[in-house]
A and B are shown apart, each in its own frame.
Chain A
Amino acid sequence: MLLGRNTKNPIVMVDKKITEWTYSTCGYCSVGCSIEIGKNAEGKIVGSRGVGGADVNRGKLCVKGIFEHELFDSAGRGDKPIIREQIGEAYRETSWDDALDTMADKIRDIQQKHGRDSFAIVSTGQLLTEEFYTLGKLTRGVIGTNNYDGNTTLCMASAVSGYKRSFGSDGPPGSYEDFDHTDVLMAWGSNLPEQHPIIYWRMKEAQEKRHFPLIVVDPRVTMLAQNADIHLAVTPGTDVVLQNAIMHVILDEGLEDRAYIEANTVGLEQLESEVAKFDPDSASKVCGIDPDTIRNVARIYAKADAAMSIWTMGINQSTHGSDGVVGINNINLLTGNIGKPGGTSLSITGQCNAMGTREWSSCSGLPGYRALENPQDREDIAKYWNVDPEFFPKKRGLAETDIFPAIELGEIKGLWLVATNPMTSLPNTARIRKTLEKLDFLVVQDSYADVETVQYAHLYLPAATWAEKEGVFTNTERRVNIVRKATDAPGESKSDLAIFNALAQRFEQSAKMNFPDKPAAVFEEMKSLSKGRLLDISGMSHDLIEEKRGIQWPYTAEEAERGEEPLQGGKRLYTENGTFSFADGMAKLVPLPFIDNNEVPDEKYPYWLNTGRLVEHFHTRTKTGKIGNNNKYSPIPFMEINPDAARELGIQHQDYVRCVSRRGDAIVMAMCTQRVPKDMVFIPFHFFDCVNRLTLGLLDPHSRQPAYKQSAVMIEPIADQQAAAQMSRERRAF
């Protein structure tokens, strides 16, 4: 039929007239999707699409990736270095030479007066691996401060620490392909649809082909929890108790894999005596999961041919974060579920290159998973870089979350922040503001000049972002993938690599060292330092990585020489018995006593405060807060509150309310939903001057990661809604 007219009208549809696609890897989360950036004949970037032949995402992208090309001309980008003598003064534009000379002088000055470690550096998970490696070389080999860390302490430190404690090294042993083989999947504090939608899709694809039970541990009824076969609505901060109880059942009922344990682990006896204390009946009183369900879950998991666990911030961001990771590893070691198809402990990482910084930035040690504590490692790197091994500290310095208290105490006088925004991201904003005010010199190096921490900086350096430069990222499944340059950075912005190199030149010590300009040349150094190590990348090259749409490590020069193609996916670690990274090749079963040290709700602050992520936003919104087709789904902060609680408090759906903790207050819009229990509220963490005004952030003893998800708050209705709206509006510059 032709309804509506006699003759057909020509159809007009949007044609972006893309003439060139540039291959890249998404710069948001750690899933590591291959993405192509489309440019029209005038050279303007107008589109993006998922790469069809890439194993990770197979043509798909999430809501952020689909609009990632709009980053390049988004608001708030810096284009010139700006400087001022004191905070409170206005900034003035300056030249790069002047900016970097001043910076080098200030670093030298502070270090001379207060010691080498009085200047601290906090980087990120956002840079390219070549840049991380170069920053590590500059910090460890030239500047020589031991107070150097990445903001990965806020997201992945517990996973790193847990992997090291169980397996002897960092490095997630599994692969996305494990979803295709597993017989049960347990997700601990991980909400794939919201946080890692592409991994969710890979999981869903696998599950639709071959159903396997999904068990979700989460105090909130997330979409994943709702879709789970079993949802364990655990009491916040008590995952370790649940894990111990599960192990109690496994060992009690003889469901463990004795042969695997004997061939691969040490410490069974100590573990057994610890978990003996956690019978399901007592454990259920603490963790809130009934004893029958604990037994049921333990049996399902232990009896499966292959079982895997994934986790994200629900485990990591807790005072028992590292323990929680070890607990997951313990369960998998007991049941023989490491290093086999469908059996793994797979931490689902946060930032696009959190893995790259863990591997190569020297933040917590030396490049290539080397440790400062290991004399041989210090020797090897010193030789390779041509520095005196004695210049290196002999043990790791402060983590990010200890650097800030050290500033508070006056031990650290200068700070260089690279692509991180602690004003929004660290717990207890009020304390962070006071801390930043104390600095003699703060440098903020970021793609965005409106990143909130610039309020306290003395020098701001504009950096290129994502595909304005070239280099590699490593994703959650250890896949090294490449970002190709699609466009120039705005104004005078420089790539972080160029900034590091230019700063290095201003220190005498760098003269005898090599700081290559080209990312590919830096990659060659990394390859050579990776030879024979767990994270061997010596078989890769930038071009081969692009051709294969990413390569999982290890892929060695020997394999490449033998003509062995890298696997498309499914590369695993610890596949052979007794090949763990401890000297004896055995993994450790670590007993996990539980001490409840969280701030728990009481009469005065009767609600749990839970925090987390939204799919449309990334981190502190400096990127997604400016892209309308991301931002519009949550343009202002809101709070999920149970309708029954709201009714008692006299709060209506969509009212602004005031949340108060022992640290401060925040204004949010109430969303009444039964997704949260009556004694809990949930506030997304992306917004400036919001939830982190409330959070306590007790630190994990092993990883120094803050417990963002366990604080206590009270909630007050606001009579003057207009004033609240204005206050909320004023806190949103974007």
Chain B
Amino acid sequence: MLDVRSDEPEYSFLWDKETKAVNQHGNLIDLIDEDSELHCQSLNINGDPGIGDNPNRYKQHGFFLNADNCIGCHACEAACSEKNDNPAHIAFRSVGFVEGGTYPDYQRINISMACNHCDDPVCLKGCPTRAYTKYAEYGAVLQDPDICFGCGYCTWVCPYNAPQLDPVKGQVTKCNMCVDRLEVGLKPACVSACLGNALDFGVVENIPENRIEAKTAIPGFPTTDITQPNIRFQQTRSTHREMTRTDAMPMKYHKDDSVGIFKPKVDKKSGDKKHFNWRKLLTSHESAHVIFTLSTQAVLGAFLIIVSAGLINIEALSALNSSAVKLPLLGIMFSLLTYGLFKLNMHLGKPHRFYRGFNNLRLSPLSREIAGVSGFYTFLMAYGFFSIFDNTLFNFLANASGVLGALSGLIGLYYMYKIYRIKARPFWDHWQTGSAFFGNTVSFGALLTGLISLPLISNEQALLALASPLMVLIALGLGLELIGHIAHSRAMGSLENEGAASWYLQTTQYGKAWITRNVLLGLSFATALLLLVTAPGGNLAFTAWWTLALLMISAGAISRSLFFVLVIPTTMPGAFFWKNKAFEEHARESGLVDMEQVGVVRELHGKFKLDELLETIRTTSPSTLYRHIKDIVVWKKIR
């Protein structure tokens, strides 16, 4: 247990005498039932078997911020980083601000924010490695960086930017509620360090002494219905009607008198001018996701077509059943998918820990996507292998692999779509994500099939017979994608939140690239229709298919890049330098990043540490492995 020094000041001690039963989200503040087996267990902090004597140990705790009082002095951030030994570029707690009014009637509201240890921890549910746990003790949501493999998905789903992805260590870390201090009755380090008497901590819904309210929101704080966060605010001073952000995010907050709260609105910080912005668009750190999603979708589409051709007797597709056509096609599909998976895996902070992606099958769509795509990859290989031989057994095995591959691939695709339905990322949280993914699966699958197989078919009639249904599929896929884009544009344009901000960037900063995409996609669709009607043969067919391919691939690459670059999460407002994406980008471009005290690091890729992987394989006993697998499958929610 932590040593409490003899002169520890009174303000450092927790103060909750009485507690409420239910919080403002309607959840019980008592985290476990009276007879729960979870009572009186040690938290095992650094191997210490001690059990804290905090009387409110099993009640949900949370931070309290009196935003009227925060002076933005950074003491909370510093105390946190000192305690947790964080380097400059990592902070579990950050202070940003919103400002409003006109000199001298100017007002700045500082917001100090860490993890809100939510009732519904989306980080925990999203994490594929099961690095997160919500504890019965204090309701703390703790993350174990040793388990984390650095995919950063928790940083996508959290609306408050609480989990911190460290590109240097290749892992996420976050606020740990200072549970070691809570165990001995002390408030978290940040709270004890507060110099504005702004930050406090206790059992949630308890209002500290001298404070009068415990609101769930203040301007700049994202909507609470996503995660039911355990933070409460006081903000009684009159605010200006409009509060703006100093960071680059094109968002501001407008007071809505009818409900008395602030609502996000687009702040057109960079005007209305349209740009191409190719370099930023096509070289973003997320390009690995662009390559992975597009290649997986194309390969899956092609696979579905080939497997269907083998299983169902469709005359037009029968050309695909010949080994001379099928095997080269499968070979190319395998290479393409391998490349996509490689790009994705090497995008991880710890690529050699890829196998941990299955840990959270029970909760995480990402885990399920990984499982689905891995299954698909495996069955694709099996299908390819069995297809080499032509006898009944192998044909059966090939067909079985085909069915299983198609199933797991479709499951993978569905969860690939579900991954992006993140409430904290309104630009993605729309059915268009699905129409694009499924549409691309169909259109690129057919395109891939056609591009590879058609030149291998010598029979003109068979070629025409195959080209026609493939072109139907391409047109269908593109049509579906187009309808999605139209609906998405309408939806985003009429929003007022971060989705609208993304829409603003889409039509300005990336406006010309977006228009280019629209033209290319329209042309692709038109070309597909034209080819469908004219059904050209010979060299003309060859030229037409490659023209269509160029159009579709360009449109697809731009489209998917826009999807990743444009998303604006519902994060907390940053400051002018710290937690300002534009300054971080500038630091990387200008070389300021080379001074580590600037607090920005380059976007690095993790190293595949084979020795660490081998060490794990060597030291993991079969029983440990069995228990681990059992834990993935058999899982209970304990109260």
The chain A residues found within 8 Å of chain B, CB to CB, are 1-16, 47-48, 51-53, 58-63, 66-67, 193-194, 197-198, 200-201, 204-205, 208, 221, 223, 225-227, 231, 233, 615-616, 625-636, 638, 642, 652-654, 671, 673-678, 722, 725-726, 729, 732, 734
Contact = CB atoms under 8 A, between A and B. Distances in A.
A4 B122 CA distance: 11
B38 A2 contact: yes
Contacts of A671: 246, 576
Interface in B246-277: 246, 248, 269-270
A221 B101 CA distance: 11
B82 A48 contact: yes
Nearest to A21: B5
A13 B46 contact: yes
Contacts of A205: 197
B388 interface: no
Given A59-B12, A204-B69, A631-B88, A729 B132 contact: no
Contacts of B47: 10
Interface string B569-600: 00000011110001100110111100111111
B558 to A, nearest CB: 26
B575 A3 contact: no
B252 to A, nearest CB: 13
Interface stretch (B134-142, B432-440, B463-471, B480-488): B134-142
B87 A628 contact: yes
B26 interface: no
B133 A2 contact: yes
B423 interface: no
In the A-B complex, the 10 residue pairs with the smallest Cβ-Cβ separation, listed nearest first, are A628-B88, A632-B599, A52-B7, A53-B7, A3-B134, A193-B71, A10-B44, A628-B597, A63-B74, A66-B78
24 contacts: A1-B31, A1-B637, A4-B132, A4-B133, A5-B130, A5-B631, A8-B44, A10-B44, A10-B46, A11-B44, A11-B46, A12-B146, A13-B45, A15-B46, A61-B75, A193-B195, A197-B75, A225-B104, A628-B87, A631-B598, A633-B575, A671-B576, A675-B99, A678-B103
B404 interface: no
Contacts of A734: 595, 597
A66 B72 contact: no
Contacts of B587: 635
Nearest to B12: A59
Contact of A14 (B38, B73, B85, B638): B85
B592 A636 contact: yes
A725 B75 contact: no
A628 B599 CA distance: 6
Interface string B132-156: 1111100000101011000000000
B495 to A, nearest CB: 24
A614 B199 CA distance: 21
A629 B176 CA distance: 19
B196 interface: yes
A66 B82 contact: yes
Interface string B72-92: 111101110111111111000
Given A14-B83, A223-B108, 15 more contacts: A4-B130, A6-B634, A8-B44, A11-B179, A13-B45, A13-B180, A193-B195, A204-B195, A223-B71, A628-B87, A628-B599, A629-B81, A634-B576, A654-B248, A675-B103
B132 to A, nearest CB: 5
B134 A2 contact: yes
Contact of B597 (A60, A631, A638, A654): A631
Residue of A53, A635, A671 with most partner-chain B CB within 10 A: A635
B228 to A, nearest CB: 13
A66 B135 contact: no
Given A15-B46, A60-B75, A628-B599, A726 B590 contact: yes
B636 interface: yes
B637 A66 contact: no
B543 interface: no
A6 B248 contact: no
B78 A615 contact: no
Given A632-B88, A671-B576, A1 B638 contact: yes
B554 interface: no
B102 interface: yes
Interface of B: 5-9, 11-12, 31-32, 38, 41, 43-47, 69, 71-75, 77-79, 81-89, 99, 101-104, 106-108, 110, 121, 124, 130, 132-136, 142, 144, 146-147, 176, 179-180, 192-193, 195-197, 210, 246, 248, 269-270, 363, 575-578, 582-583, 586-587, 589-592, 595-600, 631, 634-639
Contacts, number: 240
Nearest to B146: A12
Contacts of B31: 1
Contacts of B583: 654
A100 B587 CA distance: 43
A193 B78 CA distance: 15
A61 B82 CA distance: 12
Contacts of A226: 106-108
A6 B101 contact: no
A223 B237 CA distance: 14
Contacts of A7: 631
A600 B599 CA distance: 38
A12 B135 contact: no
Nearest to B28: A1
Nearest to B74: A63
A5 B7 CA distance: 39
Contacts of B84: 13-14
Contacts of B631: 5-7
Contact of B197 (A13, A201, A725): A201
Contact of A638 (B46, B104, B576, B592): B576
Given A616-B74, A632-B88, A673 B142 contact: no
Given A8-B135, A632-B577, A632-B597, A208 B197 contact: yes
A635 B46 contact: no
Q: Which of B74, B135, B192, B586 has most chain A Cβ within 10 Å?
A: B74
Which of B7, B12, B86 has the largest count of A CB atoms less than 10 A from its CB? B7
A633 B7 contact: no
B124 A200 contact: no
B104 A231 contact: yes
Given A6-B631, A635-B595, A63 B77 contact: yes
Given A615-B73, A628-B88, A635-B592, A60 B193 contact: yes
Contacts of A48: 82
A629 B578 CA distance: 11
A201 B134 contact: no
Contact of A725 (B101, B248, B586): B586
Nearest to B68: A227
A61 B635 contact: no
B7 A67 contact: no
B362 to A, nearest CB: 9
Q: By CB atoms of chain B within 10 A, which of A4, A67, A204 has the most?
A: A4
B8 to A, nearest CB: 5
Contact of B144 (A12, A67, A636): A12
A201 B194 CA distance: 9
Contacts of A652: 270
A24 to B, nearest CB: 15
A236 to B, nearest CB: 14
Contact of A674 (B102, B197, B591): B102
A239 B248 CA distance: 37
Contact of A193 (B72, B591, B638): B72
Contact of B108 (A1, A61, A675): A675
A642 B101 CA distance: 12
Given A13-B46, A67-B82, A674 B597 contact: no
B85 A615 contact: no
Contacts of B88: 628-629, 631-632
A62 B179 CA distance: 23
A59 B135 contact: no
A67 B81 CA distance: 9
Contacts of A673: 99, 106, 246
